[in-house]
Each structure stands twice: as structure tokens, then as C-alpha cells.
Amino acid sequence: MPAAESTSDLDELLAILELSPIGDDVFAGAHPHKNPVRTFGGQMMAQGFVAATRTLVHDLPPSALSVHFVAGGDPSADIEFHVVRLRDERRFANRRVDAMQNGKLLATALVSYLSGGHGLEHNVEMPELPDPDTLPTIDDLLVGYEEVVPGFVNALRPIEWRYTNDPAWVMRDKGGRQERNRVWLKAAGDMPDDPTLHTAAMVYASDTTVLDSIITTHGLSWGWDRIFAVTINHSVWFHRQVDFADWVLYSTRSPVAAESRGLGTGHFFNRAGQVVATVVQEGIVKHFPGAKA
């Protein structure tokens, strides 16, 4: 059932990430009090990641998460996360997590953990962009667009967003196009000293803007245009431990869209310019020209 209303949206996110054990390697996850029509995919992924991590035998950092979505979740009911222990070694571990609701499979996740030690290091260069503290807040960018994107206005916002470019709805109003979207993100409040929760919050946030570049490449926007979009699969590779109490840059683009499917890819950079994580998401994206949203 929806979680009780907390003092802040971040408190509410942290509350639903505190899963309730209800059996052997089975956990129940609640929903927040603000929800879209179906369970937000980022929430399901973050909760599944926490469920897998809480069953580890050894303290290992995550290396990858891959989720395939099968059905939409009902925000009025809890989701059960069934963890299967596939492998446990001193430096390696693997888990499968099945997200179930009322006996129906919603999603399956594979999570791997690896303590690799020091080795070769390089990463793509972080773009030079304005400091996040100099950029407008998401609330500022929604002023005047309350009727265009009411879903964004009324959404749970446990994450601070600072766009370095116009968000889709502003870009569309100006008549432009964007092949890339870059936004600074961090928790909207104090984070616990728990690496798992920092990573889970980043996983939650990874589902917020990654599909935007599919539509902004064509000069389209949520709210202005009639667009149907749903995630099919979502993968995250973890390269370094994230500190989600500080700003991270989420830089995304779409390399391809075809057959009503689009691919979004992105990197999370920390303030030092290091790549913290890489994201790839595939979604069904349909545009209905001439129809009003």
C-alpha cells in the first residue's frame, strides 16, 4: 500500500527503499503517496536492487543491473521482490530478482557484484557545463507550463534537477531540437551513510530523463505532443561508488530509434569528471502526429 506521507519527498523515497522481509529472500516494497498511473520503473528497479543487495553474503560493490519489464505495476498494492541467489563467492556474487504483484510477474532483474581491485582506468571526458548551483530549479522551469506537463508538476520529486539545457517542454515551446540532454542530479536532502541507498537513489533517478533525447531529437515533447512511451528494458553498469548527496551529471542521448522502439544511453559523472555509471534503456515510443496530447 502507499507509504505514509513523510516530511519530504526524499524521506518518502528512503522509506519505500526500506523493504520489509516477508519470507526467505522475499521482501515487500511500498509505493509513495504520489504515483503515476502505473508503478514508476525507477522505483521498481531501485527496490529490486536493494532487495538483491540485502541478501549478499559478502560486502561486495555492484557491477551491473539489468531489468526487463513485463507488466505495469498497480500503485495501490505492495510489490513483492523474490530474490534468487545464483552465486556467492568472496569476490563475485549474482542475484535474480522477480518483482511480483498479485501473482503476476512485473519485472525480472539480474544483479551482479564484483570486487575487482585496482586496474586500468580511463573514461569519456565530461562536458564543460555551468555549475549546478547557478542553474534554475525544476520548479522554476515548470512555471507557466503547469497545464502542459501536469504529471511532472504533481510528481514525487525526491531528486533535485538542474537542467543545463532547456527541458523538453521549454525546447518545444521555442521550436527547437536537442540531440542531447544533460541534467545535474542529487538527493533533495540529507542521505544516510549507506552506499546501497546512494546507489539505489541513482538507479531511481536513471529512469527520469534517459528517454527524453529520443523525442527531443525530433523536436517533440511530453505534454505538447501525443506520445506513448513505456520502458522495455533498462541496464546500469556501476563503475565507481556514487555519492548522491553531491551533484552528479546525467548526460544522455539517443543513438537510434526504429520500428517504434528507441534507445537512450547515458553516463553519470561525479563532480571530479569521473564516470560513475553507464545507462542504456530501450523503450517503445510512439508519436501520433496531428493529435493533441
Q: Are residues 100 and 138 in the same domain?
A: no
Q: Which residues pair with 227 in a beta bridge?
A: 287
- Kindly tell me if the per-residue pLDDT of 181 is higher than 80: yes
Q: Are residues 217 and 136 in the same domain?
A: yes
- Kindly tell me if the per-residue pLDDT of 275 is higher than 50: yes
Contact call for residues 262 and 287 (beta carbons, < 8 A):
no
Q: Which three cell numbers stand for residue 291?
A: 493529435
Question: Does residue 94 lie in a domain region?
Answer: yes
Q: What is the mean pLDDT of the segment spanning 232-236?
A: 97
Question: Does residue 123 lie in a domain region?
Answer: no
Handedness of CA 160, 166, 169, 170 (dihedral sign): positive
What is the tens place of the pLDDT at every residue in 158-170? 999 999 999 999 9
Q: Are residues 7 and 61 in the same domain?
A: yes
Contact call for residues 30 and 16 (beta carbons, < 8 A):
yes
- Kindly tell me if the per-residue pLDDT of 6 is higher than 60: no
For the chain, the domain total comes to 2
What is the tens place of the pLDDT at every residue in 52-91? 999 999 999 999 999 999 999 999 999 999 999 999 999 9
Q: Are residues 101 and 176 in the same domain?
A: no
Q: Are residues 26 and 156 in the same domain?
A: no
CATH number at residue 107: 3.10.129.10
Q: Which three cell numbers stand for residue 219?
A: 523536436
* Domain that includes residue 76, residue range: 1-116
Determine the Cα–Cα distance for residues 93 and 85; give it in Å rounded to an integer: 8
Q: What is the mean pLDDT of the segment spanning 224-247?
A: 97
